[in-house]
Every structure is written in C-alpha cells, then in structure tokens.
Amino acid sequence: MNRTKIKERLKGMSSEQLFKILILIFGVATIGLCVVGVLYFLNFQGQLSSEHERWGTFGDFIGGTLNPILSFLALIALLLTIVLQNRELEATRQELSESRQTAQKQVAHLINEAKKNDIYKTIQVLENRLEKLYREPIYFLSNGDLIDHELYFLFLHASDTALEQIIRPEVEPQDYFKKELIKTKTVLTQLNLVLVKLSTQISELVKYDQNNTIQLFYEPILYNLTTKLKLIGYLSDTDEEWLKLEKEFRQNRNNM
C-alpha cells in the first residue's frame, strides 16, 4: 500500500479514530521493545555479556527486527499527525471564514441602518418643510379682488376651476398685487422642489428598507400634490417625468 492510498484512508476516518490509532501505534511500539528485551534475557540467560560479538549479533537482531516495524509505525504516526493538523487548520480556517462573514454582515447591516437613518432624517426635514408650506397663504384674483387661502385648504377643498385662477409661473404679476402674487409663485415653486426631493428620498429608502409603510403613507400625498401642481402649471415636464420614473422604480422594487 503506497503513501497516497494510506493518506486517502486516513482522511476518511474521524479525528477520534485517528487519535485511537496513534495510541495503538504507541502501544505496538512499546510491546515490540518489551519483546526484544525478553528475547535478550532469554538469549543471554538474564546476564549481560562482555563479548563484543554477542552484542554485535544482538544489535543486528534489534536493527533487523525493530527498524522496519518502527519505521512503518513512524510513517503511519506521521501521516496521522499531518491529517490531524490539517483538520485543525481547516476547522480554524472555517471558523475564521464564518467569523469574517458574520463581521461583514454586521458591518453591512450597520451601514444599511446608517443610510436608512440618514434617509429618515431627510424625509423628516422635508416633511417639516411641507407642513410649513401647507400653512402659507396662496393669493389669487377673483373678479378683480385678491383672495387668499392656506395652501393646504386650497388644494384640499378648491375646485379645479378655482385652482386655475392662481397665477401661472410664466405670468408677470400686476403691480398692485405684485408682492402677494410673487410670494404665491415662490411658495408653489418651493412645493415643487420639496415634492421632487421627497419622492427621491422615498425611492432611496425602498432600496434599504423592506418595510414600505412610509412609502404607502406618502404615495397618495405625492400623487395629489403633483396633480394639483401640474394643473396650475408649477410642475415642469422634466420634473413630471422624473417623478413618474421614481414611482415606477418603487413599484418594481415592491413587486420583486
């Protein structure tokens, strides 16, 4: 049996079996030494000889008898030791690999949570801005008179016909009501920017958070406000296309 076959058989054994074989080898070597000692005493009648020839013959006997046996046992023991060491190294590598994977997952989780927290904070800031814009007065002319309503009330209760009376972004306001109408245009322009940013942040949140509660909360708000802004001319074609793409992205992510 060559060394390769011996290694293959040893690899198929458990570590406990290999350890038992090592103990057995040690026992066989010990028994061999004892047998040689017994043969020595039987051959020399229990006495030590002073003749060099007898010692030479006895040495040849020991060498010829024990050397092949001990060499073979030493080879097996060496192979067993190598296999056991390889298994310990493999177990160590496996533990290190699992530890590294666990650490990588923890780092990825922390990074993911940090990004989610940043997005949550940004959404909170945008929501606060939206709340402030809701309370801003919107001015429009009706039969020559200047009328104002809070943005939230106007978008919630006013008809489309009433909304169409709001000054268009490309229209130059009359001098007499210039201050109020410019403020109206500024508020609506800011609302457009907030909605685009809010839609973008919600799309970013969908990438890192499987919970779509926030998305479900804001989707109807985004739809309603963008529809109103489109009606009164404060939603550009570019922003409208961007908001449409963002919404499609969120829907596709949820369907995955």
pLDDT, tens digit (0-9, with 9 covering 90-100), for 108-138: 888 888 999 999 999 999 999 999 999 999 9
| Confidence at residue 239, expressed as pLDDT on a 0 to 100 scale | 94
> In angstroms, rounded to a whole number, what is the distance separating the alpha carbons of residues 111 and 118?
11
Cα distances from 114 to residues 109, 117, 120, 121, in angstroms, run 8, 5, 10, 11
How much of the chain exceeds pLDDT 90, in percent? 36
Q: What is the mean pLDDT of the chain?
A: 81
> In angstroms, rounded to a whole number, what is the distance separating the alpha carbons of residues 245 and 239?
10
Residue 199 pLDDT > 50: yes
Say which residue, 97 or 16, is predicted with more confidence. 97
| Confidence at residue 86, expressed as pLDDT on a 0 to 100 scale | 77
- For residues 58-68, average pLDDT: 66
Convert the pLDDT of each residue in 29-60 to its tens digit.
Answer: 677 667 766 666 666 554 555 666 666 666 66
DSSP assignment of 172-193 equals PPPGGGHHHHHHHHHHHHHHHH
- For residues 54-74, average pLDDT: 66
| Confidence at residue 23, expressed as pLDDT on a 0 to 100 scale | 73
- CA triple 109-113-114, angle to 5 deg: 115
Q: How confident is the model at residue 98 (pLDDT cuts 50, 70, 90)?
A: confident
| Confidence at residue 87, expressed as pLDDT on a 0 to 100 scale | 73
| Confidence at residue 65, expressed as pLDDT on a 0 to 100 scale | 64
Residue with tokens 């030479």: 56
> In angstroms, rounded to a whole number, what is the distance separating the alpha carbons of residues 241 and 247?
10
Q: How confident is the model at residue 1 (pLDDT cuts 50, 70, 90)?
A: very low
| Confidence at residue 223, expressed as pLDDT on a 0 to 100 scale | 93
Residue 235 pLDDT > 90: yes
Nearest of 192, 184, 190 to residue 141 by alpha carbon: 184
User: What residues are paired with 141 via a beta bridge?
Assistant: 146
How far from each other are the two terminal CA atoms of the chain, in whole angstroms?
58
Q: How confident is the model at residue 162 (pLDDT cuts 50, 70, 90)?
A: confident
Residue 107 pLDDT > 80: yes
Q: Is the pTM of this model over 0.85?
A: no
| Confidence at residue 53, expressed as pLDDT on a 0 to 100 scale | 63
| Confidence at residue 91, expressed as pLDDT on a 0 to 100 scale | 79
| Confidence at residue 209, expressed as pLDDT on a 0 to 100 scale | 78
**In residues, how long is the chain?**
256
